[in-house]
């Protein structure tokens, strides 16, 4: 099988423009007769559903939450990148493109990334026009800040709630179309399967989570905007309901899964505090603008801090190891996420961890507080300010920048981060892998599209901070609405999709059969107990560092766990009413397959790149060792009866506009 990425010809700067102007259109009269189903209402889903409806298609949108506004994009904190160059610091489309390719460790597709950088500026214009209240300076113009892996300030933000504001903007656009009757919204509905007929996506089987009813929805195109699968690790920064089921169902129906092992472990999260923990909370990367990361230089001091015999604030400057500044002087605390996470793990594994479990490092704001305090004092004309005054003024500045994040930390840990450094540790945050898509964001199943985090295309092996929001909205507002038309131009004579066909009958029967199996299983173990066990296997053997032996073990362990799940899972309640345990069981069953494919992918990729670190492949200094000669490709997996029998198809990556270099932030 050969995959065609359908990348338009011509120079990279002209590809999207010429493609867009030569793409086929569907006339307004025909659009009225074409149905599009959108699954998920995060940034990608809401924006796509709104845009397609605005163009004239009949859109049905689905979300499993009680309202489209709850999608997990809402929790994104730090910001959104755009090549506006408002700060006049040398930013450009090319620089954003280059940073993203390099940040992704040269494992993403040039043409897609360039288009993303190209449309980024429009996103900001669009959002401001929709009334998104971005942060502004005293001149009334938009403010920016910096994120990891770049040397310009191109990140637009709304305090630590940028995702919320952007999602509510997209939700408002969606609401406008719902009110006009162009979108029919299905809240508390979960997609159970994609229906494929004559090789094309023709609709979905959905379940009404409130009543348990199974529904058939025909469509000429199906867009999966269903986010990532980080919850395969059980503990992650994802929401409790975030799941990989829609993408996995599509995979089982023939869609290729690309680079499943590329997982982003975010360096700054609040460490796990006990076995009961249900999720991990992110502390925005923006904190690394002003926070300095350190552990004690001396193991004895680390031990004393762990045992509570020594306060971190009592440890003098010369006894601290600011290991990111030491190892990566050029980027310091703002190295990309994969690099920062691995460095934290390295220090903790060596015995320098600073909390009771030994799995935490400090993120310290005292230098920033002092620096800002002095500047403020000067501006206020205070001569010889006292130390207390400096700290008071400095804390005010820090609070205006990160106030809500500091509050969030204090609520969870009951420690005041202004007075004592935060303790942080890496946690699963994002998945770069996802459904394979071509330049038009279509999977290899005609009519089936994947947008946002659900696809694989833009972030390679490591995503840069503030780029997920950018990609979600770019895909939903500006890319898919055009490219879908190119496919639908052939569907104008199809007419309404018949949901009584054999394909729909069969798909529905399979869905019902599986639900019956789960609810009638009468086992002894709860769904969560299996999910926790899977998470532990994944974190230990397919987490921040991986090796062949561990991955082989993991594949066997997951198989055994999957078998145990189907033999012994206990799902209480009924299938014909609201039953969150049943919903969860279906998602965990899919994670138990997806996890295995992730391990297989990690085992096959005999190199280290981005978030994928194979212990066998590292430099003497412990940096990731990439192998461009043998692995400059996208791993695309085709489903074959069971996850471990998946067939590998390679999409070779060619780089014509950037030179493949060792990624260095030193």
Partner 1 sequence: MNLTLKIWRQNGPDDKGRMEIYPVQDINPDMSFLEMMDVLNEQIIAEGKDPIAFDHDCREGICGMCSMFINGEAHGPGRRITTCQLHMRSFNDGDTIVVEPWRAAAFPVIKDLATDRSAFDRIQQAGGYVSVNTSGNTIDANAIPVPKTDADRAFDAATCIGCGACVATCKNSSAMLFVSAKVSQYALLPQGKVEAKERVRKMVNQMDLEGFGNCTNTGACEVECPVGISLENIARMNREYLSASLSSAE
Counting contacts by CB under 8 A, is residue 532 touching partner 1?
no
DSSP E strands in 40-79: the ranges are: 58-62
- Among 19, 31, 60, 70, the residue binding partner 1 under the rule CB under 8 A is 70
Q: Which is nearer to partner 1, 323 or 482 (CB)?
A: 482
Q: Which residues pair with 58 in a beta bridge?
A: 35
The two tokens of residue 344 are: 């934290």
- Among 68, 373, 426, 460, the residue binding partner 1 under the rule CB under 8 A is 68
Q: Give the C-alpha separation, 539 to 526, whole Å.
A: 20
Q: Which is nearer to partner 1, 410 or 627 (CB)?
A: 410
Give the dihedral of Cα atoms 10, 11, 14, 19; nearest 10 deg.
30
Q: Which is nearer to partner 1, 425 or 637 (CB)?
A: 425
- Binding residues for partner 1 restricted to 461-480, rule: CB under 8 A: 477-478
- Among 11, 495, 580, 622, the residue binding partner 1 under the rule CB under 8 A is 580
Q: Which is nearer to partner 1, 118 or 338 (CB)?
A: 118
Counting contacts by CB under 8 A, is residue 499 touching partner 1?
no
- Binding residues for partner 1 restricted to 86-105, rule: CB under 8 A: 86
At its nearest, how many Å lie between partner 1 and the CB of residue 228? 14
At its nearest, how many Å lie between partner 1 and the CB of residue 83? 12
Burial class (CB in 10 A: 0-12, 13-18, 19+), 87: middle
Instruction: Work out whether the CA dihedral 347, 286, 475, 207 comes out positive or negative.
Output: positive
Counting contacts by CB under 8 A, is residue 23 touching partner 1?
no
* Among candidate residues 23, 51, 22, 24, the one with its CA nearest the CA of residue 36: 51
* Among candidate residues 505, 313, 551, 283, the one with its CA nearest the CA of residue 405: 283
Counting contacts by CB under 8 A, is residue 207 touching partner 1?
no
Q: Which is nearer to partner 1, 75 or 214 (CB)?
A: 75
The two tokens of residue 200 are: 């094309």
- Among 84, 541, 605, 617, the residue binding partner 1 under the rule CB under 8 A is 84
Counting contacts by CB under 8 A, is residue 185 touching partner 1?
yes
At its nearest, how many Å lie between partner 1 and the CB of residue 122? 3
Q: Which residues pair with 292 in a beta bridge?
A: 364
Q: Give the C-alpha separation, 222 to 338, whole Å.
A: 33
Asked if 636 and 261 count as a contact pair (C-beta separation under 8 A), the reply is no
Asked if 341 and 624 count as a contact pair (C-beta separation under 8 A), the reply is no
At its nearest, how many Å lie between partner 1 and the CB of residue 59? 13
At its nearest, how many Å lie between partner 1 and the CB of residue 272? 11
Stretch that binds partner 1, among 120-128, 434-442, 540-548, 642-650 (CB under 8 A): 120-128
Q: Which is nearer to partner 1, 68 or 244 (CB)?
A: 68
- Binding residues for partner 1 restricted to 410-449, rule: CB under 8 A: 411-412, 414
Q: Helix 480-488 and helix 43-55: axis angle, to 10°?
A: 50
Q: Give the C-alpha separation, 314 to 499, whole Å.
A: 70
At its nearest, how many Å lie between partner 1 and the CB of residue 181? 10
Q: Which is nearer to partner 1, 495 or 573 (CB)?
A: 573
Going from the C-alpha of 597 to that of each of 390, 640, 649, the distances in angstroms are: 54, 11, 14
| Total of residues contacting partner 1 (CB under 8 A) | 83
Among 145, 337, 587, 614, the one annotated catalytic: 337
Stretch that binds partner 1, among 442-450, 540-548, 565-573, 597-605 (CB under 8 A): 565-573
Going from the C-alpha of 425 to that of each of 52, 295, 348, 367, the distances in angstroms are: 41, 12, 9, 21
Q: Are strands 80-81 and 155-156 parallel, antiparallel or unpaired?
A: antiparallel
Instruction: Work out whether the CA dihedral 594, 4, 604, 339 comes out positive or negative.
Output: negative
Name residues whose C-beta falls within 8 Å of residue 267's C-beta, 6 or more positions apart in sequence: 285, 293, 337, 340, 341, 343, 344, 424, 426
At its nearest, how many Å lie between partner 1 and the CB of residue 126? 5
Stretch that binds partner 1, among 104-112, 176-184, 439-447, 557-565 (CB under 8 A): 176-184
Counting contacts by CB under 8 A, is residue 577 touching partner 1?
yes
Give the x/- contact pattern for partner 1 in 26-55, rule: CB under 8 A. ---------------------x--xx--x-
Asked if 557 and 537 count as a contact pair (C-beta separation under 8 A), the reply is yes
- Binding residues for partner 1 restricted to 186-205, rule: CB under 8 A: 187
Region of 428 on the Ramachandran plot (φ > 0 left; ψ -120 to 50 alpha; else beta): beta
Q: Give the C-alpha separation, 453 to 71, whole Å.
A: 13
- Binding residues for partner 1 restricted to 388-407, rule: CB under 8 A: 407
Give the x/- contact pattern for partner 1 in 621-640, rule: CB under 8 A. --------------------
Q: Are strands 263-269 and 422-431 parallel, antiparallel or unpaired?
A: antiparallel
Active site residue 136: no
Sheet arrangement for strand 189-197:
189-197, 200-208, 214-218
Give the x/- contact pattern for partner 1 in 509-528, rule: CB under 8 A. -----------------x-x
Mapping DSSP onto H, E and C, the string for 361-410 reads EEEECHHHHHHHHHHHHHHCCCCCCCHHHHHHHHHHHHHHHHHHHHHHHH
- Binding residues for partner 1 restricted to 210-249, rule: CB under 8 A: 210, 239-241
- Binding residues for partner 1 restricted to 135-174, rule: CB under 8 A: 135-142, 158-159, 161, 163-165, 168, 171-173
Counting contacts by CB under 8 A, is residue 536 touching partner 1?
no
Sequence-separated contacts (24+) of 21-24 with Cβ below 8 Å: 23/482, 23/483, 23/485, 23/486, 24/485, 24/486, 24/489
Q: Which is nearer to partner 1, 225 or 597 (CB)?
A: 225
Counting contacts by CB under 8 A, is residue 564 touching partner 1?
no
Q: Which is nearer to partner 1, 177 or 635 (CB)?
A: 177
Counting contacts by CB under 8 A, is residue 69 touching partner 1?
yes
At its nearest, how many Å lie between partner 1 and the CB of residue 109? 22
Q: Which is nearer to partner 1, 211 or 654 (CB)?
A: 211
- Binding residues for partner 1 restricted to 265-284, rule: CB under 8 A: 273-274, 276-279, 281-282
At its nearest, how many Å lie between partner 1 and the CB of residue 666? 34
Q: Which is nearer to partner 1, 274 or 381 (CB)?
A: 274
Q: Give the C-alpha separation, 649 to 297, whole Å.
A: 47
Give catalytic residues, as residue numbers. 337
């Amino acid at each position: 099988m050969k995959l065609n990425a359908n990348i338009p010809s011509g120079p990279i700067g002209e590809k999207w423009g010429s493609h867009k102007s030569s793409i086929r259109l569907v006339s307004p009269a025909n659009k009225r007769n074409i149905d599009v189903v959108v699954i998920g209402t995060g940034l990608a889903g809401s924006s796509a559903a709104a845009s397609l409806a605005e163009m004239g298609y009949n859109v049905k949108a689905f979300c499993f939450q009680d309202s489209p506004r709850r999608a997990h994009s809402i929790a994104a904190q730090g910001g959104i990148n755009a090549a506006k160059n408002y700060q006049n610091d040398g930013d450009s489309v090319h620089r954003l493109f280059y940073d993203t390719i390099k940040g992704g460790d040269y494992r993403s597709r040039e043409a897609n990334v360039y288009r993303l950088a190209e449309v980024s500026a429009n996103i900001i214009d669009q959002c401001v026009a929709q009334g998104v209240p971005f942060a502004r300076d005293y001149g009334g113009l938009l403010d920016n800040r910096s994120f990891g892996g770049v040397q310009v300030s191109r990140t637009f933000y709304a305090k630590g709630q940028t995702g919320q504001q952007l999602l509510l903007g997209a939700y408002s656009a969606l609401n406008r179309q719902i009110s006009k009757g162009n979108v029919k919204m299905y809240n508390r509905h979960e997609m159970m399967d994609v229906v494929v007929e004559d090789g094309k996506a023709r609709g979905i089987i959905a379940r009404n989570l409130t009543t348990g009813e199974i529904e058939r929805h025909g469509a000429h195109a199906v867009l999966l905007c269903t986010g990532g699968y980080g919850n395969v690790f059980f503990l992650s920064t994802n929401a409790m309901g975030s799941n990989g089921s829609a993408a996995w169902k599509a995979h089982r129906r023939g869609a290729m899964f690309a680079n499943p092992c590329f997982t982003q472990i975010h360096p700054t999260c609040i460490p796990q505090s006990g076995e009961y923990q249900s999720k991990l909370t992110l502390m925005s990367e923006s904190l690394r603008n002003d926070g300095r990361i350190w552990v004690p230089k001396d193991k004895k001091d680390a031990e004393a801090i762990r045992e509570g015999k020594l306060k971190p604030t009592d440890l003098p400057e010369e006894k601290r190891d600011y290991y990111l500044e030491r190892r990566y002087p050029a980027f310091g605390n703002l190295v990309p996420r994969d690099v920062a996470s691995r460095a934290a793990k390295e220090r903790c594994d060596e015995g320098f961890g600073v909390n009771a479990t030994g799995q935490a490092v400090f993120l310290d704001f005292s230098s920033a507080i002092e620096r800002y305090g002095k500047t403020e004092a000067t501006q206020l004309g205070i001569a010889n300010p006292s130390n207390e005054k400096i700290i008071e003024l400095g804390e005010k500045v820090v609070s205006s920048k990160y106030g809500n994040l500091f509050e969030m930390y204090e609520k969870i840990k009951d420690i005041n981060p202004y007075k004592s450094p935060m303790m942080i540790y890496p946690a699963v945050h994002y998945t770069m892998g996802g459904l394979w898509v071509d330049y038009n964001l279509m999977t290899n199943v005609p009519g089936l599209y994947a947008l946002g985090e659900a696809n694989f295309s833009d972030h390679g092996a490591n995503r840069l901070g503030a780029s997920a929001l950018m990609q979600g909205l770019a895909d939903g507002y500006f890319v898919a609405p055009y490219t879908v038309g190119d496919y639908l131009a052939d569907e104008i004579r199809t007419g309404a999709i018949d949901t009584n066909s054999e394909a729909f009958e069969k798909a529905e029967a399979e869905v019902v059969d599986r639900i019956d199996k789960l609810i009638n299983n009468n086992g002894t173990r709860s769904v969560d107990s299996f999910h926790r066990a899977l998470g532990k296997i994944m974190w230990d053997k397919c987490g921040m560092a991986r090796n062949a032996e561990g991955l082989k073990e993991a594949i066997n362990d997951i198989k055994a766990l999957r078998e145990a799940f189907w033999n012994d899972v206990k799902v209480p309640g009924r299938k014909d009413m609201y039953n969150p345990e049943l919903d969860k069981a279906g998602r965990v069953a899919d994670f138990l397959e997806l996890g295995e494919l992730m391990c297989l992918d990690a085992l096959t990729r005999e190199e280290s790149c981005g978030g994928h670190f194979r212990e066998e492949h590292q430099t003497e200094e412990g940096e990731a060792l990439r192998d461009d000669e043998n692995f400059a490709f996208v791993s695309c997996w085709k489903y074959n009866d069971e996850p471990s029998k998946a067939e590998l198809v390679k999409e070779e990556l060619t780089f014509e506009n950037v030179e493949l270099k060792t990624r260095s932030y030193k």
